[in-house]
């Protein structure tokens, strides 16, 4: 699709002052004047040999560029997911415990508010208030402390989904016969929750976790740009701005692999959560 847009990478390589003659020479030298199907074939051939191509705009092989960007995105994803799960489980369990009380209502309204907050807006607020005015965290940049705010900006809306899913799942499982029997036999609610209810409520959480992980691993474009986080999102943003086809294709490939891996992880987690499930 990128190469279907009427654009000439030679114009970007040669600069705004390039003459048509210069652009034509560059097209010829770099093979941009070859038919798209030929270029695609060459791309697949190179891919089979472990090469993601070369960015003539960034003047670098795409493989190392993507490899450099994957690590920060992975780090941010792990951080964000851990925060999401801690916050989501925290809100979800608390909401379940405070069931039908005022506290539960407050929590439910809060989670609706959180999941309505756009992550990019929250990111800008965190940056300008928490990092800039209060000075509690760095102003973006690639560091451990610098990861906290972008992770939080992603995690807060995301945790609301986990909280609400968990709450409704728990409510369903609490109504099951085994849970009610355990309570009737005098087992403490906490023990029933941990030993019986929680694990059975996790299946929907695991399903959502897979989708969430895939989304995060594909790169959070706006968050990474706001916080100057050098991950796949920032790389994608640059590549789209420059119509850098090789980088866009590489990032798309990585995103597709991330979705496959996340789905695989989800399937493995199902086995752990519910041993009755079998893929045989």
How far is the C-alpha of 260 from the C-alpha of 254, rounded, in Å? 10
Q: Which CB sits closer to other proteins, 113 or 128? A: 128
Q: Is residue 97 within the footprint of other proteins (CB under 8 A)?
A: no
Stretch of residues binding other proteins (CB under 8 A), selected from 7-15, 153-161, 164-172, 178-186? 7-15
Q: Which CB sits closer to other proteins, 16 or 190? A: 16
Among 62, 81, 119, 127, binds other proteins (CB under 8 A): 127
CA distances from 102 to 97, 105, 108 (A): 12, 5, 10
Which residues of 11-62 form beta strands (DSSP E)?
54-55, 60-61
Among 49, 59, 185, 276, binds other proteins (CB under 8 A): 59
Among 130, 187, 207, 230, binds other proteins (CB under 8 A): 230
Q: Is residue 132 within the footprint of other proteins (CB under 8 A)?
A: yes
Q: Which CB sits closer to other proteins, 25 or 274? A: 25
Q: Which CB sits closer to other proteins, 32 or 114? A: 32
Tokens of 129: 């208030």
Q: Is residue 54 within the footprint of other proteins (CB under 8 A)?
A: yes
Q: Is residue 225 within the footprint of other proteins (CB under 8 A)?
A: yes
Q: Are 52 and 232 in contact (CB under 8 A)?
A: no
How far is the C-alpha of 230 from the C-alpha of 232, rounded, in Å? 7
Q: Which CB sits closer to other proteins, 68 or 199? A: 68
CA 187, chain centre distance (Å) = 40
* Distance of closest approach, residue 241 Cβ to other proteins, in angstroms: 7
Q: Are 182 and 193 in contact (CB under 8 A)?
A: no
Q: Is residue 206 within the footprint of other proteins (CB under 8 A)?
A: no
* Distance of closest approach, residue 224 Cβ to other proteins, in angstroms: 10
| Residue that the structure tokens 């590549």 belong to | 239
**Which residues lie closer than 8 Å to 95 by C-beta, 6 or more apart?**
104, 107, 108, 111, 163, 167
Q: Is residue 75 within the footprint of other proteins (CB under 8 A)?
A: no
* Residue among 137, 159, 135 at smallest CA distance from 146: 137
* Distance of closest approach, residue 161 Cβ to other proteins, in angstroms: 28
How far is the C-alpha of 144 from the C-alpha of 80, rounded, in Å? 12
* Bridge partners (DSSP) listed for residue 55: 60
Size of the site for other proteins (CB under 8 A): 52
Positions in the binding site for other proteins (CB under 8 A): 5-20, 22-23, 25-30, 54, 56-61, 65, 68, 127-128, 131-132, 135, 139-140, 142, 225-228, 230, 234-235, 238, 241-243
């Amino acid at each position: 699709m990128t190469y279907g847009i009427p654009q000439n990478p030679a114009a970007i390589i040669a600069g705004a002052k390039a003459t048509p003659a210069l652009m034509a020479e560059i097209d010829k030298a770099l093979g941009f004047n070859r038919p798209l199907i030929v270029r695609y074939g060459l791309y697949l051939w190179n891919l089979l040999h472990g090469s993601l191509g070369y960015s003539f705009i960034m003047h670098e092989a795409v493989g190392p560029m993507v490899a450099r960007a994957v690590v920060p995105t992975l780090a941010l994803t792990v951080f964000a997911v851990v925060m999401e799960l801690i916050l989501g489980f925290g809100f979800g369990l608390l909401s379940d415990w405070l069931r039908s009380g005022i506290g539960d209502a407050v929590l439910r309204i809060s989670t609706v508010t959180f999941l309505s907050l756009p992550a990019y807006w929250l990111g800008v607020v965190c940056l300008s208030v928490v990092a800039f005015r209060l000075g509690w965290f760095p102003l973006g940049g690639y560091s451990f402390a610098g990861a906290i705010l972008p992770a939080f900006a992603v995690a807060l809306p995301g945790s609301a989904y986990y909280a609400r899913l968990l709450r409704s799942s728990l409510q369903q499982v609490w109504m099951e016969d085994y849970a009610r029997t355990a309570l009737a036999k005098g087992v403490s609610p906490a023990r029933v929750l941990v030993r019986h209810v929680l694990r059975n409520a996790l299946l929907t959480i695991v399903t959502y976790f897979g989708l969430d992980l895939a989304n995060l691993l594909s790169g959070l474009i706006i968050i990474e740009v706001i916080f100057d986080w050098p991950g796949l999102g920032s790389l994608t943003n640059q590549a789209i701005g420059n119509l850098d086809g090789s980088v866009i294709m590489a990032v798309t490939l990585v995103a597709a692999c991330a979705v496959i891996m996340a789905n695989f992880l989800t399937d493995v987690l199902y086995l752990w959560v519910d041993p009755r499930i079998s893929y045989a």
